[in-house]
């Protein structure tokens, strides 16, 4: 069973819209247009999600804008992260999984970014991974193991937890910012969103 079967298809489409736009508030008409459902039906779905405590709404002039409640983001967004990983080609997906499995001491966070996350990769593209903390020696061994098993090239960027936390405010490191803005977490996903959305 895939994660999307947990939701009705219309709910999945609505929540995915917020996931892809970093939870930017969107009004009813725009949601209806972007997911391709009539406004009347969209309103009913939004109302159901709001009553369930998943969405929240706020008046903006004459418009009512919706977003996911912050406390729900660490529960909802990881579903889409899982879906993104599982949607990757078999060897590319397994390279990430094999790398993580080979790490005895798990990192605080593991984020896939670059062309793999953006869907612009080709067969020769490296798989860019941001690893927050963890042993450099163990990371090197895990990288070699995953590459040998899958034939995929991994480019692992390691940063300390302290540096990652600083980057959430400083926004100075291009690699870390690229991972945060365009990548998706594959380990400790809930923790990632708690940090990003300050929960």
- Residue 68 DSSP label: E
Please give the tally of structural domains in the chain.
Answer: 2
- Residue 143 and residue 96 share a domain: yes
pLDDT band at 4 (very low <50, low <70, confident <90, very high): low
Report the CATH number at residue 106.
3.30.460.10
Q: Report if residue 78 sits inside a domain.
A: no
Look at residue 199 in the predicted model and tell me its pLDDT: 58
| Threshold 0.75, pTM exceeds | yes
Is pLDDT at 66 greater than 50 in this prediction?
yes
Measured CA to CA, the distance from residue 193 to residue 180 in angstroms comes to: 10
Three-class SS of residue 52? coil
pLDDT band at 135 (very low <50, low <70, confident <90, very high): confident
Domain that holds residue 18: 3-68
- Residue 186 and residue 95 share a domain: yes
Measured CA to CA, the distance from residue 191 to residue 108 in angstroms comes to: 9
| Tally of CA atoms within 13 A in the half-sphere of 77 that contains its CB | 28
Sign of the alpha-carbon torsion through 61, 23, 118, 114? positive
pLDDT in tens, 10-55: 999 999 999 999 999 999 999 999 999 999 999 999 999 999 999 9
- Residue 27 and residue 57 share a domain: yes
Look at residue 116 in the predicted model and tell me its pLDDT: 98
Sheet holding 109-113, edge to edge: 154-159, 127-132, 109-113, 184-187
CA distances from 48 to 44, 67, 88, 160 (A): 6, 13, 32, 42
Measured CA to CA, the distance from residue 185 to residue 117 in angstroms comes to: 10
- Residue 122 and residue 59 share a domain: no
Q: Residue 60 has which token pair?
A: 């903006």
Look at residue 51 in the predicted model and tell me its pLDDT: 97
How many of the other CB atoms lie within 10 Å of CB of 90?
A: 8
Q: Report if residue 83 sits inside a domain.
A: no
């Amino acid at each position: 069973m895939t994660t999307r079967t947990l939701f009705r298809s219309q709910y999945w489409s609505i929540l995915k819209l917020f996931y892809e736009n970093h939870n930017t508030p969107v009004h009813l008409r725009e949601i209806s247009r972007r997911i391709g459902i009539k406004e009347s039906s969209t309103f009913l779905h939004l109302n159901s999600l709001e009553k369930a405590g998943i969405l929240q709404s706020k008046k903006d002039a004459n418009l009512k804008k919706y977003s996911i409640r912050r406390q729900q983001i660490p529960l909802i967004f990881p579903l889409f992260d899982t879906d993104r990983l599982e949607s990757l080609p078999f060897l590319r997906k397994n390279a990430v999984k094999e790398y993580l499995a080979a790490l005895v001491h798990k990192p605080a966070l593991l984020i896939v970014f670059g062309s793999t996350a953006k869907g612009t990769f080709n067969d020769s593209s490296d798989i860019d991974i941001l690893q927050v903390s963890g042993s450099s020696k163990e990371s090197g061994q895990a990288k070699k193991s995953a590459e040998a098993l899958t034939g995929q090239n991994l480019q692992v960027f390691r940063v300390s937890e302290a540096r990652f936390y600083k980057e959430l405010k400083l926004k100075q490191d291009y690699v870390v910012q690229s991972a945060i803005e365009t990548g998706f977490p594959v380990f400790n996903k809930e923790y990632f969103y708690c940090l990003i959305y300050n929960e």
